[in-house]
Amino acid sequence: MPRMQVYLPDDLYSQVKRRGLSASELLQGAIRAELRRRQLSAETDRYLEALIAEVGEPSASEVSKANAVARRIRGRQARKAS
């Protein structure tokens, strides 16, 4: 397995050591999650471009309605988490 040197700010290094965590495992997980997030974001961008090409740009009214739905969903998720 290749090795890579990574620098951590003092506060992160201290927290990892104090908790007895494996920096290597944490970093691997964080990198995998970020790579997956970027992949999904790129796929979403491609999907939206294709959708806009097919049906056109949404109107201001449609954008407003979509934002309202997203706010309601976030509100429900926040209530469930508390």
Residue 60 pLDDT exceeds 90? yes
Tell me which amino acid residue 40 is. L
**Counted domains in the chain:** 1
Give residue 25's domain range: 10-81
Judge whether 8 and 16 are in contact, CB under 8 Å: yes
CA distance 4 to 75: 41
Mind listing the pLDDT tens digit for each residue in 23-39? 999 999 999 999 999 99
10-18 and 23-55 are packed helices; what angle lies between their axes, rounded to 10 degrees? Answer: 120
Rounded to an integer, the average pLDDT of 47-62 is 96
For residue range 39-49, what is the model confidence (pLDDT) as tens digits? 999 999 999 99
- Give the H or E element holding residue 49: helix 23-55
The H or E element containing residue 76 is helix 60-81
Answer whether residue 4 is part of any domain: no
Answer whether 0.75 is exceeded by the pTM.
no
Answer with the residue of higher pLDDT: 72 or 77: 72
- What's the pLDDT at 81? 85
- The reply to whether 58 falls in a domain is yes
In a domain, 15, yes or no: yes
